[in-house]
C-alpha cells in the first residue's frame, strides 16, 4: 500500500500541472519539442484511467492529417524504463486508434539526472524485416535558461522553476519567483492568470522540495492552499508524512514500546508540518489532539 502511495506522489508532482499547462499554453510546449505550425494541433491531456494506453499528452493534427501525431511524456523523477515505457505507450495507442501514420514522441525531463537514469532504447529485427521508427525528442528543462525558454515562446516562462539550481538561496529565489509572476501576468490573458500562477507555484514546490507551501504563497502573493491542486498537495503531504512518522515511530518503538513510539512519531511529524506552514493551525490541532489523548492513556 505504501509503495502505491509513493508512486502516486511522484507522478502527481508534475503530471497534473502539466495537463493544465497543455490546456492553457499547449502550442508553446509543442514549439519547445520542435513541432512546426503548432497552432494546427489540438493537444489532449490524457486522464489517468487511460494512461496505460496513452502517454501524458497526445497532440492531434487538425488540418493536415499527414503531419506527425505527437505523444508527450513528462518525467519528474528517475525511471530507468521511461524510454521503453513511452515507446510502448505510443505503439499501444496507435494500435488502439488503428493509426499507421508518422509519429513524434517526446519526453520532457524536469532534471538532467532523470534523463541520465533512463536506459537506452533500440529495437531492430536481425532479419531486417522491421525496426522501431519515428522521432523521439528529449528535452531537459534544467539545461535551459529562462531566457532560452522564452525565446522559443514567452509563455514558457511558466517552466522557469526547472531552469535554476535546487540550491538557490531563499532570498534570491524569492526575488526570481516574483519576476516569474510578473512575466506570467505579461504573457497570459488576464482570465488565465490565476490558473497559470497556480501551475507556476506547483512547479516551484516540485523543484524546491524544502520550500513550504507557506513560503511559496508569500513569494507569489497567491494562496495555493485555496486551489484544488493545492489542497490535494497538502493531503498527499499528510499521507506521505504520516507514513514517515509511522516508520520513525516504529524505530523509536523498539526502545519505548511500539505503540508509544508510533504515536510520538506521528505527533512530531504533525508539529513539523504545522511549523513549516504545510498545514493550518486548525488542521494541526484537530489531528494532533486525538493522538495526544491516546499517548496520555498509554503512558498512565
Nearest to 105 by CA among 207, 35, 41: 35
Comparing 222 with 149, the larger pLDDT belongs to 149
List the Cα angle 238/244/247 in 5-degree steps.
140
Full-model pTM? 0.70
Average pLDDT, the chain: 78
Q: By the 8 A CB rule, do 106 and 90 touch?
A: no
Q: Which of 148, 208, 209 is nearest to 177 (CA)?
A: 208
Contacts of 38 (CB under 8 A, 6+ apart): 26, 27, 28, 30, 31, 59
User: Residue 236: is it exposed, middle or buried by C-beta count within 10 angstroms (0-12/13-18/19+)?
Assistant: middle
Instruction: Read off the pLDDT band of 277 (50, 70, 90).
Output: low
| 143-196: pLDDT as tens digits | 999 999 999 999 999 999 999 999 999 999 999 999 999 999 999 999 998 889
C-alpha cell at 69: 501525431
57 DSSP β-pair partners: 45, 72
Of 53 and 73, more confident: 73
Angle value at C-alpha 109, between 172 and 233, nearest 5 degrees: 65
Is the pLDDT assigned to residue 24 strictly greater than 60? yes
Radius of gyration in angstroms for the set of CA atoms belonging to the chain, rounded to a whole number? 22
CB 152 within 8 A of CB 32: yes
pLDDT on residue 227: 63
Q: How far apart are CA 71 and CA 68, in angstroms?
A: 9
Domain boundaries, the chain: 2-143, 231-299
pLDDT digits (tens, 9 = 90+) for 99-129: 888 899 999 999 999 999 999 987 666 666 6
Q: 72: which residues sit within 8 A by CB, 6+ positions away?
A: 22, 29, 33, 55, 56, 57, 58, 59, 105, 106, 107, 108
pLDDT at 210: 79
Amino acid at each position: 500500500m505504501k509503495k502505491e502511495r509513493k508512486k502516486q506522489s511522484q507522478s502527481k508532482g508534475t503530471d497534473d500541472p502539466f495537463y493544465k499547462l497543455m490546456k492553457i499554453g499547449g502550442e508553446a510546449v509543442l514549439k519547445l519539442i520542435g513541432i512546426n505550425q503548432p497552432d494546427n494541433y489540438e493537444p489532449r491531456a490524457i486522464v489517468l484511467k487511460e494512461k496505460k494506453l496513452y502517454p501524458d499528452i497526445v497532440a492531434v493534427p487538425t488540418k493536415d492529417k499527414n503531419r506527425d501525431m505527437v505523444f508527450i511524456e513528462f518525467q519528474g523523477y528517475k525511471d530507468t524504463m521511461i524510454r521503453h515505457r513511452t515507446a510502448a505507450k505510443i505503439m499501444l495507442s496507435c494500435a488502439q486508434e488503428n493509426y499507421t501514420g508518422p509519429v513524434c514522441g517526446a519526453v520532457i525531463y524536469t532534471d538532467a539526472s532523470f534523463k541520465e537514469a533512463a536506459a537506452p532504447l533500440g529495437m531492430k529485427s536481425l532479419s531486417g524485416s522491421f525496426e522501431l521508427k519515428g522521432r523521439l525528442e528529449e528535452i531537459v528543462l534544467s539545461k535551459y535558461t529562462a531566457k532560452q525558454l522564452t525565446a522559443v515562446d514567452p509563455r514558457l516562462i511558466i517552466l522557469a522553476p526547472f531552469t535554476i539550481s535546487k540550491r538557490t538561496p531563499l532570498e534570491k529565489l524569492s526575488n526570481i519567483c516574483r519576476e516569474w509572476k510578473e512575466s506570467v501576468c505579461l504573457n497570459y490573458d488576464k482570465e488565465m492568470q490565476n490558473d497559470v500562477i497556480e501551475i507556476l507555484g506547483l512547479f516551484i514546490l516540485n523543484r524546491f522540495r524544502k520550500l513550504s507551501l507557506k513560503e511559496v504563497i508569500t513569494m507569489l502573493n497567491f494562496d495555493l492552499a485555496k486551489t484544488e491542486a493545492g489542497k490535494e498537495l497538502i493531503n498527499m503531504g499528510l499521507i506521505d508524512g504520516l507514513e514517515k512518522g509511522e516508520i520513525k515511530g516504529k524505530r523509536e518503538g523498539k526502545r519505548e514500546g511500539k505503540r508509544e513510539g508510533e504515536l510520538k512519531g506521528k505527533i512530531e511529524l504533525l508539529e513539523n508540518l504545522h511549523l513549516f506552514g504545510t498545514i493550518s493551525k486548525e488542521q494541526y490541532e484537530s489531528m494532533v489532539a486525538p493522538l495526544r489523548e491516546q499517548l496520555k492513556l498509554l503512558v498512565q
